[in-house]
Structure 1
């Protein structure tokens, strides 16, 4: 929601800035600083950063939100340092050129600002896809694509110089947004390749959903009675690694061959209710993704558990080893 609000600010629906009185006072302090000294230049730069908050504020707030979500202080500090270098380097280059490289102000600045708004919407979608079903995730990715298409089309009508290029880019963005929407309706999962993903989806493994310890015991008992092995996959809609396993590992031919005669059970712990917690306690795990293997004798091969994402070739080897090992 915060990123959507910041995007609306970039689109010009409202202005995110410091009060005018404070801006005026800061500007007067900046003008009184002595030129030609390192201290004066440093103070002037600090005050100028406050003055231009209306331009860089949404981008900086967005960066801080992403860093706070990750919880990694060192990485966050490095990201802010890199951002400051990126913002400061053009000023150094333009300043060293004595103004010869300074681009002229014009309508292009407004277009760049709106493009940053589209990027804000993309970041909002990126943060939400972790907690929504895959079909909804594709719709979320379609929003910034369609907004970008509309923006470029409108801008192309107002700019005769670059109208053709803007329209082509707008058509490409629009087609991508439509493809994402169609893929969402038809069962696609991959935003980078929405339509090819539909074919891969048809070859997904046939998991049986279980919601309780009783369901688990019943499934293992039935598999034991028929002499079949069992795979139990702990998954959730908000689990990104689970989606990677579903998209890249479980669709691999070698993995599917290793699981051809296996009963596939999926413990969906999306709701994290009492039944889900009981299933997690049964295996002594904290959350998905975790995969457990049961032999044809109905006993778990606990030494072969998979925790986290595993590539297809390694997972196929682990599966064959688990089902071929003694209890």
Structure 2
């Protein structure tokens, strides 16, 4: 009898999904590291935590996000200047505890000609005070648990949006003052508030704001000052460095004329300003904050910028298409591919999926099933039909879930399930169980009650159906040739038509096995059951373990090396549990208890790391333009919205690789065509910039860009050139195809 571990594997996955989210609440993570920034959540409570709201004033509590930038990288102030985004913090705190505003240290000017931004490089700490309201009660467990989700934009010449989730547990008793010096330095770096003491007058004259400020520090007199408006898009970010800006001291009064922003869209009655001594001079304090009341009003402001004329035209065209019931056309010309062509492309793509390495482990199980029923034609046919139904139903269900989530506002695409580390971990668990079973470590009769272990014998059709479900689970991350355009077209169709496209993919995937099941020639060609089946069965364990290796690697791209290591620890503990159940005699239940306790401890200690998304650069190479090798080696840069348009506008061609760690086709193309010496030589000769859009984790911007290209999954390869429509290349890209496209530049 051929044992099928599918039911047990799915049962274990259900247990994993039920328990591990709770474990995520146990482990606190206070540091997130990316190639560009090390971010850490710090606390400062020198008098300890208050026991009731009345003690809050005598027990100040501060939290702070510390950002340590790599050389030449920076993040942004509350007003980022001409471009950029400020760092944001979203807090999760106990009842009665509130987070105040960030106490922003004085920024510095970060020129990126012709722009000037405001922000920080080196090391900066962003302190935040905690407030304790009347609802506050001292935590019964003696610890105050705080969590925060931080988002920041880190830039050099390119910009990378990053985020991280942090947690700390602050003890109720005792002082928390390990980082006191860093908080004191951050408080010293914050502007001194002179809004109630300095006499500040402001009046708009023409296109400049005239400032007269008295009461500034005496040590500043005669020195040049920088102006940082807290309100964005009011004054020119270049401020006093602008050619039309002037400043002078008239005794103790500082006077300046600062140009208004060309994109000004607001007219504030009060304008908070941070003033600091021009960089290179030293005069305490480092910065002050004043509040300027604008006298005489403002000239009419321009309308707030919305979208570019080109984007506005595209939106209007899409609206017209929607009104007429037509699907939007993909860029690069050409109408949509049509429903019949989409169904045919989906069917052919599903057929080609059988050649993808991700599906091979499942097909190995079907080979064993074929051999087992070599002389039973009826069993062959029933198994073939059940497998086909399992594949088609699973593809339709997955497509329906995708369409439902998109209709609910989620930005998702094909393969979205493997963007969740818990799903990756669940699949790795399932394939580990299958591999251990095929390797002969256990039989179901030894680890399960006889009623459950005999289900296979009583319900072989269910086994075949579940094998089809498993085939879809591992095949869905792959996008075969012909599938890309069909999937992109399907998501814009009405529900029934879209599901028909997904069903066509499933039918293509299942067809070879269905034909073989109804073909007597296949049955006659198979060897008769015998001892060879045990050897072949053990051999098939290794493709399963190879799949586990791939899934662990995928998880490592999402949760970092800690996440991958945690998953390996859980799989080892699971294997120990299964082995313990196979033992006989008195030692069995003792070792089972030990194994289960070890597995529970491993899950609680390491489980949370599996699901923690590590904040990393969007580039899976970590390389940047200035990091190119001295021999002129090509470097992949991270893709970002608007970056392609900016490069093409400068007159340079761009090749974009939309990829993901869980996409087997993507990894194959990287190691073959995209690493081919002739292709690399052509890219260098044509001076083509290389961008990589990494979709390993969910990224709405990449999802939107794929939709704009008429695609809904990866891989996608696009060649952009000045004056030419974007060229979308094949999913399984060949050397000749890519070189031919480059030759037409």
Q: What TM-score does the superposition give when structure 1 sets the normalisation length?
A: 0.48
Q: What TM-score does the superposition give when structure 2 sets the normalisation length?
A: 0.24
Bigger share in helix:
1
Bigger share in strand:
2
